[in-house]
Structure 1
């Protein structure tokens, strides 16, 4: 595996709408990001992935783009964007934007022209098909519920495809003209100074062109559209063309949102010859997901499934390349709530989780607020903003659950949990804005915020700083970046342990991820304790006496 500029870096995702508001309209903006670059640099961050800031009607919070060449005025201007790129470069930081090219917005110029003449030039930019006597062409269900097909206005038997919301029509990647326009746009942004992209929903760009029904998987007679990528071949041709045209010439970092890639084809996706630089390691953090709906998911994250998925993932990825490791992002509940039982939330559980993730092999991605222990909030139904959450709430009601039960389930798993405003201080609105925030602030902001944690040596924020410095230190950076990962104590209840080995170095991490004390028999003699989350580690004879959520890293 060839070494790359990004391998030993730390990445951080910004959800701009909720990061920092400088003009007091209740919405985060680009100047807010610029204002906090020094904070992020001090934390140890090198790479910033910023969720969409393109012009958009915001039906899906920016993932419905109406102009790929414009910044939405709610975030600022193109001059602000150029300033952000320049200020990041001054600090040796790298900017990744979200690339959303499976679909665009129904307000995009292309789609507007397509609706005026569905059989014309721009109609071919999308998937517009005749129905079955006024009914949709297939029984595919969109990611947000309901049919993927919407009638073209003014036509009784003509439909357009949308894998997500009806305001997000899918682009026709089979059309070479469409691909060329996408590639032209990507290169325009790279020439502006970006270092790469996180690539959204990219596994959906290849369709089943036979337009065949799937076996129904619900009482509505529909079947989930996410099953289509497993049925079709040829997506690699599109992905390799995009890589060669847009990414290779710039040595760009590309992070694909590619879920459940099978082991035998993983080398095609990541590594030296892969379509992407890396993909997110979704399987471990999604171990709690069973079935199609929130009401089928586990809560909290089952420890054994998480640990098993982590070790399986590390094993299959090892020879192929690097994955991007996460415990949360804008599409998931807060990791502090998902992985940690509510009664166990605190410094030791948060620091244990952080150490496990940041010492794994792969590129660590933090999500805004993770470093201060931001958690889920308690919701009322009319506070939800996320389309997926609202849909899942109603699915739970239709299954026979009470409003209270449906709200509890939706509140646990809602993507809105990750989108509450960043908690900068104990001042009004958590210091995020002097206006009314677009999304309710988590009520715990007076206890969980950057300003207070910066002052407290023993805070989770300062622990993250020490942990990142440990990972990036001259002594341990190579082993924590390139070292092999081997599972240890796999049968021990709530013990998460692995070794990292590189050249003559070896590190061993042992974590008691539970609220109970545990005894661990050490398998070998270790030279030093090099990182801990407790002030003192106790070993009696050959037995490590582990306190609740204690995490120890030994050197050998």
Structure 2
């Protein structure tokens, strides 16, 4: 497998609205990110993935873009972005942008024009259809944020498609002019010097043009998935994108591809396919919701580790994995997969980091993950800002499907706002995020969990992440070694072996709060074995046959 810089990199995702506010308006901004670059340099990351910073009315926190070449005023100016890019590059940190081109905002000039009349030159930039009959939508598809996927326009008496919010109309990728506009815009950013793209819901850009009804699956609306995810021309479009833009630069590209299978991933990210470098799949974070995605039950480890192993094995020689526990759309990793109690939060945060960063693929750290930040103790709906959480509450509680208390429990467990509370920098008011009123509340535990404390404490979660990143840069086996899951059927231990040349690497992780018996393979017990990292401060005796609660260790054997 060919060596590439983006395979060896560690990526840090920044949600700009919640990272650092430099001007006291309660909203994070580009100048705030620039201010914290030295912190990120200390951590050791190689790449920043910026969630959208473009002009937007903020119906979906920036994922509804009204101008792809403008900066959201709350975040600053293009000069602020240019300075951020320059200062990051001065520290050998690259920046990849969030590319949102399945849809735009309904306030984008293209859509403003498109709505004006059926014969407007921009009409075909979006997906317009007649209703089946008077008052009937073109089909029964439901939107991701609730409600129908079609919005009626009184002016032209037609419906437009929006797989997300009605303020996020889907672009018509069948139209060559749309593709030309998108590729030209991407090239413009590349010429500015950015280092790649994370592509939002990129697997949805091609739709079955017959727009058939979807399966109801017990709900009011039909499932658009089979007709709008991995659609008939998606790979044609990405090959065209690669040929016209991506191949001309040394970029990192990762596609958000909901519902992707390993076979489909090989098409998107295969070494010889000339599309993308890697994709995000969601199998390990989807879980078994009681109502859609909503649940308050902890996910079991057995299916999670089998999913990871499947992807590690299937893409081993032909494509590349992206590795993550959480992001701006997922709850906090330590609350979801670990244990956020005061007794076990740090241990389990370190254990989760060990488990992920020792696998094959490019690891992603979501802001605050390196501090062990936790889910927020939401008590009332006024605390939420996320359109998905608010709409789901209305749909499920007001619709009589579930009671208020149960829905609040679901939201505390799974709401996207858990990841969007402000970064916790210090013990000052609002965790040092802002001198004003934050756009969303700061987690009240910032007094204990904050960057200032973590950086000062050499045994902190922060310094553990720093060590993991240093090990990745030191040992090729961590990046390029093969992967083999062991103890496959153990419900509490995630263990695997990596191999490269004359070296073997053993990772052992206890996902429970119990002390467990474990048998360490013999070759990792001799004098040729070295303990690379361990999340307990106490020394590890030679080949002890037990793992303490949430214990994680990595052993290197050299023949």
Q: Scaled by the length of structure 2, what TM-score is found?
A: 0.95
Residue-by-residue CA offset, 1:330-377 (whole Å, 9 max, x unaligned): 001111111024446422111111100111100000000000011111
Runs (5+) with no aligned partner, structure 2: none
Asked whether the equivalents of residues 163 and 169 of structure 2 are also in contact (C-alpha less than 8 Å), the reply is yes
Q: Verify the 8 A CA contact 1:538 1:545 in the aligned structure 2.
A: no
Secondary structure of 1:453 counterpart: helix
SS at match of 1:468: helix
Q: Is the counterpart of residue 313 in structure 1 residue 311 in structure 2?
A: yes
Q: Does 1:30 align with 2:30?
A: yes
**1:124-163 superposed matches below 5 A:** 124-132=124-132, 133-155=134-156, 157-163=157-163
1:102-501 to 2 correspondences below 5 Å: 102-132=102-132, 133-155=134-156, 157-220=157-220, 222-229=221-228, 232-274=231-273, 275-286=275-286, 288-290=287-289, 293-295=292-294, 297=295, 299-343=297-341, 345-379=344-378, 380-397=380-397, 398-473=399-474, 476=475, 478-501=476-499
Unmatched tracts of structure 1, length 5 or more? none
In structure 1, distance between residues paired with 2:270 and 2:500: 19
Output one character per residue of 1:200-235: Cα deviation in whole Å (capped at 9) or x when no partner.
011111111012112222342x11323323584221
For residues 28 and 437 of structure 1, the distance between their equivalents in structure 2, rounded to whole angstroms, comes to 9
SS in 2 for 1:497: strand
SS in 2 for 1:171: coil
- Describe the superposition over 1:401-432 as per-residue Cα deviations: whole angstroms up to 9, x where unpaired: 22111111122110011000000001000000
Q: 3-state SS of the aligned residue for 2:350?
A: helix
Q: CA deviation at 1:292?
A: 5.9
Between 1:447-456 and 1:263-272, the stretch displaced more is 263-272
For the 8 Å contact 1:30–1:81, the answer to whether it is kept is: yes
Is 1:535 the counterpart of 2:537? The answer is: yes
Distance 1:192 1:110 in 2: 24
Contact kept, 8 Å, 1:300 with 1:340, in 2: the verdict is no
Identify if the C-alpha distance between structure 1 residues 538 and 195 changes in structure 2 by more than 3 Å, giving closer, same or farther.
closer
Count the aligned residue pairs.
548
User: Could you list the per-position Cα deviations for residues 303-324 of structure 1 after superposition, in whole angstroms to 9, with x for gaps in the alignment?
Assistant: 1121111111211121222111
DSSP 3-state at the match of 2:70: strand
CA apart distance, 1:392: 2.0
Report the Cα distance in structure 1 between the residues aligned to 2:290 and 2:142, rounded to whole angstroms. 15
2:348 match: secondary structure: helix
Bigger mean CA deviation after superposition, 336-345 or 419-428 = 336-345
Paired with 2:141 and 2:264, the residues of 1 have a C-alpha distance of: 26
Q: Distance in 1 between matches of 2:340 and 2:394?
A: 26
CA, structure 1 residues 255+289, in 2 after alignment: closer, same or farther (shift >3 Å)?
A: farther
Moved more, 273-282 or 129-138: 273-282
1:299 Cα deviation after fit: 2.3
Deviations along 1:241-265, one digit per CA (max 9) or x if unpaired, are 0111111100211110013323333
Range 27-36 or range 454-463, more displaced: 454-463
Q: CA separation in 2, counterparts of 1:291 and 1:151?
A: 32
Runs (4 or more) in structure 1 with deviation over 6 Å come to none
Q: Secondary structure at the match of 1:223?
A: coil
**Could you tell me whether the CA contact under 8 Å between 2:368 and 2:424 is conserved in 1?**
yes
Closer, same or farther in 2 for the Cα pair 1:116/1:98, shift >3 Å?
same
Q: Distance in 2 between the 1:168 and 1:230 partners? A: 17
Q: In structure 2, do the counterparts of structure 1 residues 498 and 399 end up closer, same or farther at CA, with 3 Å as the change threshold? A: farther
Change (3 A) 1:154 1:229: closer
Moved more, 329-338 or 275-284: 275-284
Cα 1:5–1:523 change in 2 (3 A) is: closer
Deviation at 1:289, TM superposition (A): 3.8
CA contact (8 A) 1:19 1:32 kept: yes
Of stretches 142-151 and 224-233 in structure 1, the one that deviates more from structure 2 is 224-233
1:532 Cα deviation (Å)?
A: 0.9
Name the TM-score, length of structure 1 as normaliser: 0.95
SS in 2 for 1:179: helix
Cα separation, 2, equivalents of 1:505 and 1:143: 46
More displaced, 386-395 or 422-431? Answer: 386-395
On the 8 A contact 1:115/1:153 being kept in 2, the answer is no
Give the SS at the match of 1:470. helix
